[in-house]
Amino acid sequence: MATIKIHIPDYELNIIKDFARANNSNLSEIIRRTMIERIEDE
Query: pLDDT tens, 1-34?
Result: 899 999 999 999 999 999 999 999 999 999 999 9
Query: Exposed/middle/buried for 3, CB within 10 Å: 0-12, 13-18, 19+?
Result: exposed
Q: What is the largest CA-CA distance in the chain?
A: 28
Cβ-based neighbour number of residue 22 at 10 Å: 9
> For position 1, what pLDDT does the model report?
87
- pTM equals 0.78
Check residue 32 and give its pLDDT.
96
Q: What is the pLDDT of residue 13?
A: 97
